[in-house]
């Protein structure tokens, strides 16, 4: 493939090196590799190669062969670097772990329902929700995420009662969990948030719902929309886009929302927690006066 002019961020491998050396009419620029970024860069590089190999049916006739290939790589690492990775060898060649649920007070069928209630778009790929009739609806995905979350963090500029009501049943079930926690940051910007919507959320479970409101509309003008779901299992998810919490924005409105990283990184979670915990003002109720 011909190397086009433009911006790159690529490790230099043998084939690429030869192509670069053959360029006679282009300037080639390189940067030093940041040691803190090296693990991620190298992991992404080898992951692409391994994915290409595992996707080649001519190399592997069965799933068993693909699992053995991975175990061979792990054994090679163990042999050459004495990393003691026996516990990392793949064992089950037909199943994925999909959930763990406490037995207390639940039948096996009830427990199974909890782990099968998950976003239809899955956890391994990014998705874009546009509000069209042909796409998955973001309100349905958020509802499923609510029911499986351990903690919820929302930063939404405008909170409308029509939007809150969509998730009423799911939120009641979520807040019924002993350690459930819902944190919301919103704003009085443009007077769009409805007092009864925020009050309704707070009264669902006053001790478990923490709401912070930005009143500094002249400077901050908070206009973010993000819905984040944290799980003790580490399967954290997020939606970021243009939809405020209103029925029209979450259902058929011409909005764009993305789940850019279905399994959000721990640094993202820490940043989110910082934003949530340092909100402008903690409240239990918004009155019509201070919203408008």
- Tell whether 69 and 134 lie within a shared domain: no
**Predicted pLDDT at 291:** 32
**Predicted pLDDT at 277:** 53
> For residues 183 and 42, what is the distance between their CA atoms, to the nearest angstrom?
37
- Tell whether 134 and 84 lie within a shared domain: no
Closest to 135 in 3D by CA, of 124, 147, 121: 121
User: What residues make up the domain containing 221?
Assistant: 114-291
Q: Which residue has the tokens 């029911």?
A: 147
pLDDT digits (tens, 9 = 90+) for 164-206: 999 999 999 999 988 999 999 887 666 667 888 889 999 999 9
Report, as ranges of residue numbers, the positions in the chain whose pLDDT lies below 70.
132-135, 188-192, 216-221, 260-292
| 105: in domain | no
> For residues 153 and 184, what is the distance between their CA atoms, to the nearest angstrom?
6
- Tell whether 276 and 153 lie within a shared domain: yes
**Predicted pLDDT at 284:** 34
| Contact residues for 38 (Cβ-Cβ < 8 A; gap 6+) | none
| 159: in domain | yes
- Tell whether 177 and 232 lie within a shared domain: yes
Domain count, the chain: 2
| 248: in domain | yes
């Amino acid at each position: 493939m011909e190397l086009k002019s433009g911006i790159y961020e690529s490790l230099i491998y043998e084939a690429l090196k030869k192509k670069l050396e053959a360029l006679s009419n282009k300037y080639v620029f390189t940067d030093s590799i940041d040691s803190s970024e090296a693990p991620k860069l190298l992991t992404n590089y080898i992951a692409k190669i391994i994915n290409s190999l595992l996707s080649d049916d001519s190399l592997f006739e069965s799933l068993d062969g693909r699992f053995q290939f991975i175990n061979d790589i792990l054994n090679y690492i163990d042999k050459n670097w004495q990393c003691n990775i026996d516990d990392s060898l793949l064992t089950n060649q037909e199943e994925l772990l999909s959930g763990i649920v406490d037995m207390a007070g639940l039948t096996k069928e009830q427990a199974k329902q909890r782990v099968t209630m998950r976003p239809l778009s899955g956890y391994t790929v990014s998705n874009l929700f546009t509000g069209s009739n042909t796409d998955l609806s973001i309100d349905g995905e958020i509802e499923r995420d609510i029911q499986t979350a351990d903690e919820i963090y929302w930063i939404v500029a405008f909170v409308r009662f029509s939007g809150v009501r969509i998730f009423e049943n799911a939120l009641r079930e979520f807040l019924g969990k002993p350690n459930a926690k819902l944190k919301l940051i919103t704003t009085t910007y443009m007077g769009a948030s409805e007092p009864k919507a925020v009050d309704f959320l707070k009264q669902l479970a006053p001790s478990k719902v923490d709401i912070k409101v930005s009143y500094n509309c002249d400077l901050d003008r908070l206009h973010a929309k993000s819905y984040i779901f944290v799980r003790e299992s580490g399967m954290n998810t997020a939606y970021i886009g243009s939809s405020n919490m209103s029925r029209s924005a979450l259902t058929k409105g011409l909005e764009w929302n993305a789940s850019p990283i279905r399994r959000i990184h721990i640094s993202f979670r820490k940043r989110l927690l910082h934003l949530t915990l340092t909100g402008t003002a903690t409240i239990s109720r918004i009155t019509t006066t201070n919203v408008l």
